[in-house]
Amino acid sequence: MYQSVASVAPSIDGLVLAEIGAILIFLGLAALLATALRFSVVPIFLLSGLAFGEGGVVPLKLSDNFLTLGAQMGAILLLLLLGLEYSAAELIGGVKERKSLGIIDLVLNFLPGALLAIALGWGYVGAMALGGITYVSSSGIASQFIRDGQLQKMGSTKKAIGILVVEDLFLAPYLPILSAVISSIGVITGLMTISVALVITGAVLLFSARGGHIPHTRLMLDDSTTLLLTVFGSTLLAAGLATYIGFSGAVAAFLVGLLLTGDVAIVARVRLAPLRDLFAAIFFLFFGLRTDPAEIPPVLIISLLLAAVGIFTKYLTAKWAARNSNDSVMAIAALLIPRGEFSIVIAGLTSTLAFNDRLQAITITYVLATTIFGSILIRKLGKNSNTKVGGKY
């Protein structure tokens, strides 16, 4: 009896490994197709999750532990790489230079989501979450559009990057506050949790803005293995400890990224990018798997209307950014319209709330609609200007 059970177990593990391998190959081919078509691959990953998850066309019995851990690493790496892109001084400087534009962008794009959440009866917590989902553009998709289209030197690209920088800074206090509000049990506990989140975030930003950073040696820069293991290990350690004390692990990863500056940040971005791409694919797939397709039809019209409003409000943001200049409003808008990784991260934080299923369904539809529209728009602009544009991720 013991031998028969032991002999079956490896075959089950083998099937799970084979299934995961097949999914990764599928995602790789999807990324290749998206690159060839100059299209964002995010919608394909999300649709794949919907198709392979419970209630999907071909539901698969994938390893829950692998997918959950992979998705967590995906969120952590996305925010770590975001932190590595900037220093606190650059973020604060960007806000000072674009205060009026940042306020207009926030009001125009946060309010639609917040008002819809209140109308749906989700209260202030739902308003905070859905407002953030509709506000923050996808830096990942925009940066890929810029790289693939070689748009770095365009004035409109610089304007769009300036807006993205301000939005990224917004995430620094927003994510820990939202996480604290969601996990709060009582008023006193909630205020204490939010205060701790603000103190930690503020201290890191102040420390980094004054030139503080995580110490490193020249030897680390010369040895890619040491750099990869220490940076990635430190990030996971910080994220784990943060989660243990009730702080967001993904936000902790973002703060670690801010504390890595100079050459070490540049090298770390290069070394960690492949890991980010791998786990980000699993992250988007996992979100799709967790969303029941049956939840989408009841909120489809609301989601598409919200997406239409979100596309229009980002256009208004772009129009304000391009005022008094010859920069293309549509080019700026095309980079700002797609919502992606951060909207998914925000929706993931609400997993313990009663309205999470509907929020996830709205989010996935909203992200799909804005990303597909942005991809079509950037491709059309590329054809009109004879410029290669597009995005793998």
The predicted-structure confidence for 122-166, as pLDDT tens digits, reads as follows: 998 899 999 999 999 987 778 777 766 666 667 777 788 778 877
Could you read off the pLDDT of 252-310 as tens digits, one per residue?
787 777 777 666 777 777 778 788 788 778 778 888 877 888 889 999 999 999 999 99
In three-state form (DSSP H/G/I as H, E/B as E, the rest C), the secondary structure along 219-282 is HHHHCHHHHHHHHHHHHHHHHHHHHHCCCCHHHHHHHHHHHCCHHHHHHHHHHHHHHHHHHHHH
- The structural domains of the chain, ordered by start, are 2-384 (1.20.1530.20)
User: Could you tell me the two tokens for 177?
Assistant: 């506050």
Q: What is the mean pLDDT of residues 353-373?
A: 91
Higher-pLDDT residue of 46 and 122 is: 122
pLDDT value of residue 182? 80
Alpha helix positions (H), 37-85: 42-52, 64-85
Higher-pLDDT residue of 118 and 218 is: 118
pLDDT value of residue 51? 81
Selection from 59-63, 143-147, 191-195, 204-208 with the highest mean pLDDT? 143-147
pTM: 0.75
Residue 109 — pLDDT band, cuts 50, 70, 90? Answer: very high
- DSSP state at residue 293: G
